[in-house]
Amino acid sequence: MSFKPAFLKNESLSKLVWPLAALFAIVAFNIFFTPGFFHMEIKDGRLFGSLIDILNRGAPVMLVSIGMTLVFATGGVDLSVGAVIAISGALAATIIRPEYVRGVIEYGEAAPLYLVIGVPLLLSLLAGLWNGALVAYAGIQPIIATLILMVAGRGIAQLITEGKIVVFIHEPFQFIGGGFLFGLPVPIDIVAGMLVVTYLLTRKTALGIFIEAVGANPKASLYMGIRARLIKVAVYMFCALCAGIAGLIICSDIKAADANNAGLFLELDAIAAVIIGGTMWGGRFTVAGSMIGALIIQTLTTTILTRGIAPEVTLVFKAVVIICVALIQSESFRKLLTGRLAKAGAGQS
């Protein structure tokens, strides 16, 4: 789990080749075996089709993996995103129906949208602050520091909804998960917006380099005068914010808050997406790679569903894809492979 300076020698673009190849392979499979996979149509100014559906369903994982990428770049990991998703959704639903958990069916006064969205996001930021403070100021290993919130967070979410599944109807809020904006489902717009913000923040300011410096060589960055702790806290807060937004999308999409199952295993999907995308612990990161990784996972899931295989079996395919990509990125595996090829080729380097 230690960072390796060797990663820095790789060009970030060439690292995208393998994930892209994997994505194309899955898409190519669909060209031949899934009729109508590329079919897209515009109805009432809205775009429909399998590809749009993949983007839409993949939105939560994509959002979380944006934040996770930055956390990875600082040499950390955030296991608590699934729990933050559950907390954010539970809070939104409870604000809409505060009396529901006590058995009151009536809605009472309609909650204003800024409260329904604002309070959960604020609490998500607080969760991120907690994680960041534990990692940066208390100096706890990231896996363990975020494990605490992962275990306790789901309990807190259940505390908010008192273990019930809170169902609700709230037109403005449902727009987040089920509405259309600019001809696209709103979740896709949100992901696009977050991507633009992240790009501007990390590539048009020095922030991106600071994040990489903190992850690649904490000591050197300390001597350079980078406020490593502050950056770490900020990154964990950003990751939790992404998770909070994803929680709102999921909650608004299914019109219910399920504290037990919302965002379950999403942290693993996000971590897988980041690793497939080519970001490793500490140092160079590529948000574009993580997006490709998230798309690989979602396309795989959709493909399996359209093939009529039980959705639970997706896990096996996910495992195979992750281990293949990880192996290809592993230096010793490449050496082994090239060594074998060289022997077989006898003369080729």
Partner 1 sequence: MKIRLNQKNIPILATIAVFCLIYALGAVLYPGFLSLRVFVNLFIDNAFVGVIAVGMTFVIISGEIDLSVGSVVAFVGVLLATLVHDHGMHPIPAIAICLAFGAGFGCAMGCLIHFFKLPSFLVTLVGMFLARGLAFLLSLNSIPIKDPFFETLVDFGVQMTRKVWVPSTALMFVAVVFLGVFISHFTKFGRNAYAIGGNQQSAILMGLPVGKTKILIFTLNGTLCALAGIVYSLYTMSGYPLACVGLELDVIAAVVIGGTLLSGGVGYVEGTLIGVLILGLIQTFITFQGTLSSWWTKIAVGVLLFVFILLQRYLSSAYVGSEARPGKKKPEARPETA
Task: Name which position in 84, 90, 121, 156 contacts partner 1 (CB under 8 A).
Answer: 156
Q: Which is nearer to partner 1, 50 or 74 (CB)?
A: 74
Cβ within 8 Å of residue 310, ≥6 positions away: none
Give the shortest CB-74-to-partner 1 separation in angstroms.
11
Give the shortest CB-156-to-partner 1 separation in angstroms.
7
For partner 1, the binding residues in 123-142 under the rule CB under 8 A are 138-141
User: Is residue 315 within the footprint of partner 1 (CB under 8 A)?
Assistant: yes
From 44-52, 105-113, 216-224, 233-241, give the range in contact with partner 1 by CB under 8 A.
216-224
User: Is residue 316 within the footprint of partner 1 (CB under 8 A)?
Assistant: yes
Specify which residues 180 forms β-bridges with: 185
Task: Name which position in 204, 219, 347, 349 contacts partner 1 (CB under 8 A).
Answer: 219
User: Is residue 225 within the footprint of partner 1 (CB under 8 A)?
Assistant: no
What's phi and psi for 146, nearest 5 deg? -85, -20
- Decide: 318 and 339 in contact? Cβ < 8 Å: no
d(CA 214, CA 232): 8
d(CA 223, CA 43): 58
Q: Which is nearer to partner 1, 139 or 225 (CB)?
A: 139
Task: Name which position in 312, 343, 344, 346 contacts partner 1 (CB under 8 A).
Answer: 312
Task: Name which position in 38, 39, 40, 331 contacts partner 1 (CB under 8 A).
Answer: 331
DSSP string covering 31-99? HHHSTTTT-EEEETTEEEEHHHHHHHHHHHHHHHHHHHHHHHHTT---TTHHHHHHHHHHHHHHHHSTT
User: Is residue 327 within the footprint of partner 1 (CB under 8 A)?
Assistant: yes
Q: Which tokens is 45 given?
A: 């100014």
User: Is residue 314 within the footprint of partner 1 (CB under 8 A)?
Assistant: yes
User: Is residue 313 within the footprint of partner 1 (CB under 8 A)?
Assistant: yes
Give the burial string for 135-150 (b: 16+ CB within 10 Å, else e): bbeeebebeebbebbb
User: Is residue 9 within the footprint of partner 1 (CB under 8 A)?
Assistant: no
User: Is residue 341 within the footprint of partner 1 (CB under 8 A)?
Assistant: no
Find tokens 């494990």 and name the residue: 147
d(CA 257, CA 259): 6
User: Is residue 337 within the footprint of partner 1 (CB under 8 A)?
Assistant: no
User: Is residue 91 within the footprint of partner 1 (CB under 8 A)?
Assistant: no
- Decide: 209 and 202 in contact? Cβ < 8 Å: no
User: Is residue 100 within the footprint of partner 1 (CB under 8 A)?
Assistant: no
Residue 298 vs residues 56, 208, 284, 305, 325: alpha-carbon distances, Å: 10, 27, 24, 11, 16
From 22-30, 113-121, 247-255, 314-322, give the range in contact with partner 1 by CB under 8 A.
314-322
What's phi and psi for 256, nearest 5 deg? -160, 155
d(CA 273, CA 19): 10
d(CA 261, CA 154): 9
Give the shortest CB-84-to-partner 1 separation in angstroms.
14
Task: Name which position in 105, 310, 344, 346 contacts partner 1 (CB under 8 A).
Answer: 310
Give the shortest CB-83-to-partner 1 separation in angstroms.
10
**Chain positions contacting partner 1, by CB under 8 A:** 1-2, 75, 77, 138-141, 143-145, 147-156, 158-159, 162-163, 217-219, 222, 228, 264, 268, 271-272, 275, 281, 310, 312-320, 322-323, 326-327, 330-333
